[in-house]
Amino acid sequence: MVAARIVSLIPSATEIVAALDCTDRLVGRSHECDVPTAVATLPICSEPRIDVNGTSRQIDDRVKAALQDALSVYRVHTDVLQQLQPSVILTQAQCDVCAVNLSDVQESVCELTGCDPAVVSLTPMQLSDVWDDIRRVAQALDVPAKGDAVVADLQRRLKELRTLTAAQPQRPCVACIEWIEPLMVAGNWIPELVDVAGGESLLAVAGEHSPWLEWDALAAADPDRIVVVPCGFGLDRTAGEMSTLESHPAWSQLRAVQNGHVYLIDGHHYFNRPGPRLVESAEILAEILHPTAARFGHEGTGWRRWAGQG
């Protein structure tokens, strides 16, 4: 049997392929795929249509303008796909803003000649969906047993983490900020990660899309911990945006701010990628919520405490 020629158009799918020990079958990637590092040399098969630099407000305005004009946020390089002749293309149908969407891929596939790739679209909304997606990718790559093994191992690690955090005397209330301006709170699988990590997730519902958040609602919830985990932002970029939160009059009145319990997280490489590293994401939260009990070594790379201005 000829091994699959895989193009992954979403970073989480690339990481799933790696977890399935199929990295050597990848022939193309998205503009954001950067784990494992070996994929850096692969041809890039997508790009954003908008300028992704700038503040969260500027990016939000550009995305909304593109969608209002009925434009996709991303462009698929059909000419590159034609050259690569993939047999499997991995994409997603969870969020049109976060990555190349299914309809764009389907349009490109219709233009290809000499190949008829299977399009596998990931649709994660909660952790169980992530496990299903891993198994579907494994099935498409003819390694179903490996998919089952990967899922079993991830579930085992989360179960062990839950046992650790359940033994702690307190469960802090947590607000996970997924976008800074305008405010958005993290939904989908992230409330489940908070639960596993020994916290109570506020303002969002597991398995539902991330909702926009009014400042009055954040002030009323007054969480014990605030984690700032903007979609697509690393630690330094998130730190550069914190002045926007600090400038709001309600910010300094929040209990978490006054007690020094605001934390920055590398959402780009962890929480916003619904794949194998969601386990590490839960570990990051556990380190934040229960620092004396949970020590996995993520501080400084996956997260850091926000010290405030000055």
pLDDT tens digits, one per residue of 283-294? 999 999 999 999
- Tens digits of residue pLDDT in 212-245: 999 999 999 999 999 999 999 999 999 999 999 9
User: Which amino acid is located at 216 in the chain?
Assistant: D
Residue of 230, 263, 260 lying closest to 52 (CA atoms): 230
Quick one: 6-123 is in which CATH superfamily?
Nitrogenase molybdenum iron protein domain (3.40.50.1980)
What CA–CA distance (Å, rounded) separates 294 from 139?
Answer: 35
Name the pLDDT band for 310 (thresholds 50, 70, 90): very low
- DSSP-derived letter for residue 28 is E
**What pLDDT, on the 0 to 100 scale, is given for residue 282?**
98
277 contacts 301 by C-beta, under 8 angstroms: no
Mean pLDDT of the chain, nearest integer:
94
For the segment 128-152, the average pLDDT, to the nearest whole number, is: 98
- Tens digits of residue pLDDT in 142-183: 999 999 999 999 999 999 999 999 999 999 999 999 999 999
- Tens digits of residue pLDDT in 18-72: 999 999 999 999 999 999 999 999 999 999 888 888 899 999 898 888 877 656 7
**What pLDDT, on the 0 to 100 scale, is given for residue 99?**
73
Per DSSP, which regions of the chain are E strands?
A: 6-8, 26-29, 46-48, 74-76, 88-92, 118-122, 173-179, 184-185, 200-201, 225-228, 262-265, 303-305
**What pLDDT, on the 0 to 100 scale, is given for residue 194?**
98
Is it the case that residue 268 has pLDDT exceeding 80? yes
Class of the CATH domain delimited by 168-305: alpha beta
**What pLDDT, on the 0 to 100 scale, is given for residue 152?**
98
**What pLDDT, on the 0 to 100 scale, is given for residue 69?**
66
Compute CA distances 144 → 63, 87, 149, 155, whole Å.
Answer: 37, 17, 9, 17
**What pLDDT, on the 0 to 100 scale, is given for residue 170?**
96
For the segment 253-265, the average pLDDT, to the nearest whole number, is: 97
Identical topology for domains 6-123 and 168-305 = yes
What three-state secondary structure class fits 128? helix
**What pLDDT, on the 0 to 100 scale, is given for residue 306?**
96
252: which 2 tokens? 């300094």
For the segment 185-191, the average pLDDT, to the nearest whole number, is: 97
For the segment 245-272, the average pLDDT, to the nearest whole number, is: 96
Domain boundaries, the chain: 6-123, 168-305
Name the pLDDT band for 94 (thresholds 50, 70, 90): confident
94: which 2 tokens? 């969870």
**What pLDDT, on the 0 to 100 scale, is given for residue 71?**
67
23 contacts 38 by C-beta, under 8 angstroms: yes
CB burial class (10 A; 0-12, 13-18, 19+) of residue 282? buried
DSSP 43-103: PB-EEESS---S-HHHHHHHHHHHHHTT--SEEE-HHHHHHH--SEEEEESS-TTTS-BHH
Is it the case that residue 309 has pLDDT exceeding 60? no
165 contacts 196 by C-beta, under 8 angstroms: yes
What CA–CA distance (Å, rounded) separates 55 from 264?
Answer: 16
